[in-house]
Every structure is written in structure tokens, then in C-alpha cells.
């Protein structure tokens, strides 16, 4: 059966926690109704605020889609950007829109009511563990999910008085947990029998904070989470939690959108039964219904993927690229790092409207690159989008520069993982390196002047795993080999450089850099003192009290060089 149409999902990021279940629900229901789901997201790594990644939303041509799901909840860490994206949709989209979260602009909003789930969880703590003094921790008062209302309803049902002292708000992160642990430890608040947390992550932070003060969970205080995220099944203490209706909300959002698109009656979705998952944090242990085999299979699969990525030498391959064709070769050799995909396209932006498809799995290679309209996402005449269930579109951004986008297609509802985020970041670094080299290649006359005057660059480009940095060699303490990589060691940290140790030795032999072992090239201007050791090596102390050894083979030359200074 051909797909009926296309649904566009606009969201901040895939986070690999319970919030992704909204997206799974959207994709599953869309597949059931024969829609392709195209997801535009920013794919942030170790950052809360985007650094140019929001450019992905400029790629959306709403005329290409039958309806839009705006995942407002995903912008909880960046409300101002969420508001800007909401305005963008309202100004440019004439198609039906449903919202997962909150909105004052759109009518069809699904924020969810999790009060019954929280009530069930609180009932368990009161009835099974005889708790009488309970605190609710996290979130904001009156937040639309009504989780705190479920806590209040349970206390009232069991005849327990509810006051403002029972409700401790303070946000969605670690600070509220650490503050409550401190208040309990110092007697600022009465020690409770149990703390019911807004989320599993807050519960995890609270357990760790209580431990620092010598307060044991669950012996001294019972702690529960909420949302049944992967955080609940951690390696320290499993957290008692409760499933949410997030996948259900994703499903009903698509059902409503389908009704708005087709003007047909809205299909009814059965709300699932809430499920308590008991863990060590309440003393019950793990729920026997937990699918241990499935968890182990997922863990093994992730371990294999992690190993593949670590061993791919992607950094080195990208650093070695000399032109776009080399880059296309690297992508063709490493696209296996993105698991379970049906296709993948890497597209570079020529300007605001035009893209160049550098590589597309099973469709296009380096010898047949295609130019196309950027808002089409994939090249024309490629059938991948229509044959796929879900397509993810991520920006390729470096230092606020919008370089292109990557589109990954899957044949079943799937949430992409951190490997795709890392792959996209690596591509951005690779493209930036190529641009730098292209600029350098254009400056032939300047390069010739440098060669004739025997001057050498006093800066070098280095990579910290996230961004490319231009560093002065005067700030380098020493270079060393680390496996197959060459690392520049600075007081501020370690950065990977493309050059081999031998190349660096030749390039900077007149700049106070001296080979002191098979694997180390030392900046002797950073030496503060040195002394002989029992094995006839030299123990050298550098600025910042960093210590290295000079091998016996190089000790004599090192002493001579130091005497000259």
C-alpha cells in the first residue's frame, strides 16, 4: 500500500530517555495510518543550548507535508527557542498542527495528565511500606502534567494531611535534589519516610546526594522516581518508578492530526494500564515482569556499536581528507556506524536554497553527486523517503556555520541514538578542516613567501572530540603518541592533532621542541626542573607540576639543550 502522506515532527533533540516514547508513539501510529514521519531535530551532544543547530528548522517547507506535530515538551531546556519555533510554524504553516506540550497559539494540544500514574505509585509506597510522612520533589507548581495532583490525591485518600511542607518544587534537574538532601541532613526539614520524585533522574540525584550525607536508601528514606526511564535501571541502585502514557499521547496526537487532515472521525486509542516497576530504592527489588533478556540484548547491541565506533578511526580518516571526494570515500566506508538504517544521505548546502548530495546509500556515490532544492531534504527521484517509515533530518553545523544536513531513513519506528549525533558532529569537523585547507590552497602566493623566508606556522589545529581548536604551539607542554593518535598536551587538557610525531619534530625542531623518548616531543621552555632517577632516566617537571620522563637514549641531548637555555 502506498503511503497516504507525510507528517512533519518538529522537536529539539532526541534524548534517549522516556520522552522519546512520545516520538515512538507518533511514528507507530503514523506507520499504522500509512504516513511517512519526517523528524527535524538539532541532535545536541554535551550542551543544553544550540550553537547554530537551530538552522535545521529553516529547511522545513511545510507545503511538503500534510500535517505537523510540534513537540513543545522537547524544548523544556530552551523555552525561548521553543517559542521562536512555535512562531515560525504559525507564520509559515497552513497545514493542521497538533502540539505535544503546551501552546497558546495552537488549539490541538496534548499535554498529558499523569496524575493517576503518580497516585498509583504513591499508593504503593504508603500501602506496602507503611509510610506516613512523604515529600513530593521536583517540577513546578501547576505544571500541566498534574503529577503533583496524583501525589496529593493519594495522601488524601489515605487520610494523610497535605500541606505546603509536603510539596517541594524546584525544577527538573539535580539542584532541587541536592538542596533537599542538605536540608534533611542539617535538620532544616523533618526527615521523611519517603520522597516521591518528579522523575527518575531527580530520584537518582537525590539518592547520590543523600549518600554523601550518610543517609541510606531505602533503609533510612525510601525514594521513588517517575517515568520508567533507563535511568531507573542504573548500576548503583535500581529506582522504583511508574510507567507514563507518553507513547499513548504520541499515538493520540497523530490520530487527531489524521482526523484534521482527512476530516474523518478521529480513531480511538486505548489508554494503557499504568505499571509500577519496583526497584531497590523502595526495598522491593526488581519487578519480575521486567524483560531482563530484552535489556541484556539491548546492552550487548549497544556495546558492539560502541566498539565499532571507537575502532572506526573516523577522526583520523576525516583529518586525512584532502577534498570532497575523499570525504565521500570516508562516508561510504563508515556509514555502517549508523545502525539499523535503510538509507542515509549527506547533503552540503551550497546556499540557502540549494544543496549538493555528497553521498546517499544505495543511490548516489562520489562520482555522481546531485544538486537539489534543500527543502526537499533528499535528492529528487530517490525513493527512500516514500519507502521509509521515518526519516530523521539533522543539521551539520560547526561554530554557528550551517554546513549542510544529514537525512537518515528507517523502515520501522526507531529513535536514533548518540552514535548518529557523534557521526554528524564528526562530519562537521571534517568539513571545517576541508574548508581551512581550501582557503590555504588558494593562498599560494602567501605560502611561497613563507617558504622563501623559512617561516613556519606557530599555530596548529587540534580536536577535543567535540570541536576543532586553533592552538599556539607555545602553549603546548609536549606532544605524545597515544595508540595511533598524536596528542598535544596543554595545561588545559589533551587535544588530538593530525600530524605524526616525526612530522612535528621536523617542523618545530628550531622552536625548542626536542624528542625525549620514542613517544614524546617536549617543549623545553616549559621545563621548571629535572633530576636523575634510579633507572638512569631523567624525571622532568613542567609548569603546572606536570611530570614526564626523558629516556636514557635522549638524556645527554636533553642536558645539552637545557644548558644552552
pLDDT score recorded for residue 289: 47
pLDDT score recorded for residue 455: 42
CA–CA dist 44, 424 (Å, integer): 10
Q: Are residues 187 and 283 in the same domain?
A: yes
Give the count of beta carbons closer than 10 Å to the beta carbon of residue 77: 16
Residue 559 phi, psi (nearest 5)? -65, -40
Is the pLDDT at 310 greater than 60? The verdict is yes
Q: Are residues 288 and 169 in the same domain?
A: yes
CA–CA dist 522, 505 (Å, integer): 9
pLDDT score recorded for residue 43: 86
Least confidently predicted of 225-239, 403-417, 547-561? 225-239
Does residue 290 sit within a domain? yes
Question: Can you give the CATH number for the domain in which 521 is found?
Answer: 2.40.50.1020
Task: Identify the CA nearest to 90 among candidates 75, 71, 68, 74.
Answer: 68
Is the pLDDT at 511 greater than 60? The verdict is yes
Does residue 302 sit within a domain? no
CA–CA dist 397, 376 (Å, integer): 19
CA–CA dist 290, 241 (Å, integer): 12
Calculated CA dihedral for residues 375, 377, 382, 385, nearest 10 degrees: -120
pLDDT score recorded for residue 292: 53
Q: Which SS3 state, helix, strand or coil, does residue 159 take?
A: coil
Average predicted confidence (pLDDT) for the chain:
85
Q: Which SS3 state, helix, strand or coil, does residue 420 take?
A: helix
Counted domains in the chain: 4
pLDDT score recorded for residue 139: 85
Percent of the chain with pLDDT over 70: 89
- pLDDT tens profile 349-406: 887 788 888 888 766 654 556 778 888 888 876 655 567 899 999 999 988 889 999 9
CA–CA dist 67, 52 (Å, integer): 26
The sign of the dihedral angle between the CA atoms of 552, 556, 557, 563 is positive
Q: Are residues 101 and 198 in the same domain?
A: no
Which H or E run contains 98?
Answer: strand 97-100
Give residue 271's pLDDT band: very low, low, confident or very high (50, 70, 90).
Answer: confident
More confident residue, 535 or 360: 360
- 11, 74 in Cβ contact below 8 A? yes
Q: How far is CA 403 from the centre of its chain?
A: 19
* DSSP conformational letter for 171: B
Question: Can you give the CATH number for the domain in which 409 is found?
Answer: 3.30.450.40
- pLDDT tens profile 460-505: 877 766 556 678 888 899 999 987 788 999 987 888 887 889 889 8
- 537, 547 in Cβ contact below 8 A? no
Does residue 406 sit within a domain? yes
Task: Identify the CA nearest to 382 among candidates 338, 330, 347.
Answer: 347
- pLDDT tens profile 209-227: 999 999 999 999 999 999 8
Q: Are residues 373 and 466 in the same domain?
A: no
Task: Work out the average pLDDT over 414-442.
Answer: 82
Q: Are residues 119 and 88 in the same domain?
A: no
Q: Are residues 489 and 433 in the same domain?
A: no
pLDDT score recorded for residue 20: 86
pLDDT score recorded for residue 312: 77
Is the pLDDT at 414 greater than 80? The verdict is yes
Q: Are residues 398 and 433 in the same domain?
A: yes
Hunting for cell 502522506 — which residue is that?
A: 5
pLDDT score recorded for residue 203: 93
End-to-end alpha-carbon separation of the chain, Å? 79
User: Residue 367: CB partners within 8 Å, gap ≥ 6?
Assistant: none
- 106, 98 in Cβ contact below 8 A? yes
* DSSP conformational letter for 348: E
Task: Identify the CA nearest to 244 among candidates 230, 228, 257.
Answer: 228
CA–CA dist 527, 544 (Å, integer): 10
- Predicted TM-score (pTM) of the model is 0.72
Does residue 89 sit within a domain? yes
Q: Are residues 104 and 128 in the same domain?
A: no
Which residues form the domain of 403? 312-439
- Cell numbers at 17, concatenated: 530517555
Does residue 450 sit within a domain? no
Q: Are residues 420 and 321 in the same domain?
A: yes
- pLDDT tens profile 322-353: 888 888 888 988 988 998 899 999 999 887 78
CA–CA dist 22, 229 (Å, integer): 13
Q: Are residues 347 and 395 in the same domain?
A: yes
Does residue 205 sit within a domain? yes
Which H or E run contains 100?
Answer: strand 97-100
Does residue 419 sit within a domain? yes
Task: Work out the average pLDDT over 65-69.
Answer: 96
The number of C-alpha atoms within 13 Å of 17 and in the hemisphere containing its C-beta is 14
What is the largest distance, in Å, between two alpha-carbon atoms of the chain? 89
CA–CA dist 437, 417 (Å, integer): 31
* DSSP conformational letter for 476: -
Is the pLDDT at 447 greater than 70? The verdict is no
pLDDT score recorded for residue 290: 47
How many residues in total does the chain contain?
A: 565
Q: Are residues 136 and 279 in the same domain?
A: yes
Is the pLDDT at 535 greater than 90? The verdict is no
Hunting for cell 551539520 — which residue is that?
A: 396
- Cell numbers at 205, concatenated: 540525584
Q: Are residues 515 and 544 in the same domain?
A: yes
Question: Can you give the CATH number for the domain in which 236 is found?
Answer: 3.40.50.2300
The dihedral region occupied by 39, where left means phi > 0, alpha psi between -120 and 50, and beta the remainder, is beta
The dihedral region occupied by 187, where left means phi > 0, alpha psi between -120 and 50, and beta the remainder, is left
Bridge partners for 472 per DSSP: 459
Does residue 267 sit within a domain? no
pLDDT score recorded for residue 294: 60
- pLDDT tens profile 21-40: 899 999 999 999 999 999 99
CA–CA dist 42, 413 (Å, integer): 19
- Cell numbers at 488, concatenated: 598535544
Give residue 533's pLDDT band: very low, low, confident or very high (50, 70, 90).
Answer: confident
- pLDDT tens profile 142-162: 776 788 999 999 999 999 999
Of 439, 473, 507, which closes a domain?
439
Give residue 295's pLDDT band: very low, low, confident or very high (50, 70, 90).
Answer: low
Amino acid at each position: 500500500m502506498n503511503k497516504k502522506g507525510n507528517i512533519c515532527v518538529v522537536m529539539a533533540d532526541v534524548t534517549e530517555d522516556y520522552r522519546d516514547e512520545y516520538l515512538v508513539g507518533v511514528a507507530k501510529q503514523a506507520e499504522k495510518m500509512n504516513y511517512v514521519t519526517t523528524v527535524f531535530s538539532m541532535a545536541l551532544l554535551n550542551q543544553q543550548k544550540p550553537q547554530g543547530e537551530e538552522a535545521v528548522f529553516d529547511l522545513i517547507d511545510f507545503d511538503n507535508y500534510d500535517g505537523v506535530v510540534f513537540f513543545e515538551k522537547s524544548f523544556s531546556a530552551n523555552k525561548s527557542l521553543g517559542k521562536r519555533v512555535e512562531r515560525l510554524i504559525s507564520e509559515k504553516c497552513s497545514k493542521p498542527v497538533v502540539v505535544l506540550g503546551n501552546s497558546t497559539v495552537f488549539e490541538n494540544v496534548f499535554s498529558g495528565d499523569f496524575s493517576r500514574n503518580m497516585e498509583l505509585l504513591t499508593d504503593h509506597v504508603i500501602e506496602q511500606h507503611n509510610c506516613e510522612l512523604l515529600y513530593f520533589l521536583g517540577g513546578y507548581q501547576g505544571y500541566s502534567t498534574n503529577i503533583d495532583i496524583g501525589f496529593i490525591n493519594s495522601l488524601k485518600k489515605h487520610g494523610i494531611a497535605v500541606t505546603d511542607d509536603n510539596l517541594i518544587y524546584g525544577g527538573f534537574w539535580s539542584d532541587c535534589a541536592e538542596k533537599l538532601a542538605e536540608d534533611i541532613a542539617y535538620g532544616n526539614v523533618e526527615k521523611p519516610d519517603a520522597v516521591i520524585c518528579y522523575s527518575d533522574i531527580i530520584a537518582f540525584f537525590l539518592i547520590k546526594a543523600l549518600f554523601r550525607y550518610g543517609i541510606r536508601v531505602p533503609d533510612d528514606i525510601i525514594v521513588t522516581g517517575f517515568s520508567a526511564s533507563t535511568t531507573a535501571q542504573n548500576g548503583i541502585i535500581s529506582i522504583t518508578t511508574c510507567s507514563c502514557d507518553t507513547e499513548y499521547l504520541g499515538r493520540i496526537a497523530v490520530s487527531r492530526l489524521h482526523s484534521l487532515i482527512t476530516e474523518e472521525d478521529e480513531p480511538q486509542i486505548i489508554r494503557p494500564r499504568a505499571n509500577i516497576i519496583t526497584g531497590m530504592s523502595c526495598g522491593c527489588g526488581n519487578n519480575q515482569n521486567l524483560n531482563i533478556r530484552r535489556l541484556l540484548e539491548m546492552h550487548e547491541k549497544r556495546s558492539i556499536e560502541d566498539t565499532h565506533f571507537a575502532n572506526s578511526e573516523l577522526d583520523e580518516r576525516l583529518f586525512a581528507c584532502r577534498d570532497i571526494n575523499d570525504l565521500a570515500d570516508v562516508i561510504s566506508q563508515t556509514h555502517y556506524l549508523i545502525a539499523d538504517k535503510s538509507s542515509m544521505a549527506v547533503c552540503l548546502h551550497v546556499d540557502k536554497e540549494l544543496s549538493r548530495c555528497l553521498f546517499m546509500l544505495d543511490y548516489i556515490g562520489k562520482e555522481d553527486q546531485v544538486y537539489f532544492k534543500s527543502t526537499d531534504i533528499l535528492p529528487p527521484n530517490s525513493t527512500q523517503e516514500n519507502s521509509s517509515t521515518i526519516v530523521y533530518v539533522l543539521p551539520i553545523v560547526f561554530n554557528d556555520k550551517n554546513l549542510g544536513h544529514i537525512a537518515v531513513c528507517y523502515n520501522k519506528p526507531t529513535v536514533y541514538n548518540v552514535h548518529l549525533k557523534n557521526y554528524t558532529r564528526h562530519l562537521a569537523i571534517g568539513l571545517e578542516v576541508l574548508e581551512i585547507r581550501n582557503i590555504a590552497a588558494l593562498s599560494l602566493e602567501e605560502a611561497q613567501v613563507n617558504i622563501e623566508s623559512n617561516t613556519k606556522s606557530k599555530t596548529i589545529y587540534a580536536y577535543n572530540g567535540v570541536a576543532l581548536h586553533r592552538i599556539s604551539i607555545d602553549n603546548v607542554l609536549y606532544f605524545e603518541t597515544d595508540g595511533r593518535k598524536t596528542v598535544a598536551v596543554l595545561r588545559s587538557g589533551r587535544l588530538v592533532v593530525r600530524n605524526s610525531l616525526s612530522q612535528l619534530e621536523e617542523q618545530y625542531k628550531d622552536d625548542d621542541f626536542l624528542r625525549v623518548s620514542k613517544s614524546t616531543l617536549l617543549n623545553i621552555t616549559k621545563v621548571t626542573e629535572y633530576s636523575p632517577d634510579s633507572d638512569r632516566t631523567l624525571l622532568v617537571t613542567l609548569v603546572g607540576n606536570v611530570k614526564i620522563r626523558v629516556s636514557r637514549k635522549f638524556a645527554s641531548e636533553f642536558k645539552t639543550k637545557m644548558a644552552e637555555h
